[in-house]
Amino acid sequence: MGKINIGIIDDHQAIAQGVAFELRKNPDFEIQFIVYEKTQIIDAIRLHMPEVLVMDVVMPGSSGIDSFKEVLQLFPKMKIIAYTALNSPMMIEMMLRFGVKGYLNKNQALGELNDAVLNVFYDRMHLPEDYQFILKKLKGQQQSEELSKREIEILELIAQEKKSNEIAELLQISLNTVETHRRHLFEKLQVSNLAGLIKAAMDQGYIK
């Protein structure tokens, strides 16, 4: 697996550099660019084509979510995490409706960024627990979610009684990334222990 390429957009240089510093702790992440001005956003994306954007909402010269709209109109498959001090549920819902894949408040611990990037990269929405009701409103209660190709790979290795450090070595990803996938496997298959995970995976045809 190659590294996940990330772009960071924030007019506050100290915040942007803090985000970059935190994300660089994960060896599976590559910071491709940091942009501090709205006028540089589109050119930076075209040049580097990151897989995930960590992007502030309010930038000088922007009226709020219009920057998201502009990016998604030009790059409709771009996976964006809104990283902002704004915490209005109405604003968050609007961003998600426009196609933003995740939201984090700047008051949260920087460590939350790791899970957020992994979630949106693997096509999972990411919101803090306090805002999960917004997803339920938009998507409705879902009985179960499909597993990604990577999750199935990890599931098969778990069924072979491989430990997390062994899985990380075999798949050439970080231990933290493996643990994040393990946690989501338990959530998606709605189980609480390893035996339940294997049984649910067999019942649903993911493993034999």
Asked if the model's pLDDT at residue 137 lies above 70, the reply is yes
State residue 141's pLDDT score. 39
State residue 193's pLDDT score. 85
CA atoms within 13 A on the CB side of 64: 9
**DSSP bridge pairs for 84:** 105
pLDDT in tens, 84-120: 988 888 888 888 888 999 999 998 888 899 999 999 9
Domains (ranges, CATH) in the chain?
Answer: 4-139 (3.40.50.2300), 149-203 (1.10.10.10)
Who has greater pLDDT, 21 or 187? 21
DSSP of 76-104: TT-EEEEEES---HHHHHHHHHHT--EEE
Closest CA to 34 of 51, 58, 57, 15: 15
State residue 143's pLDDT score. 46
Chain-wide mean pLDDT for the chain? 89
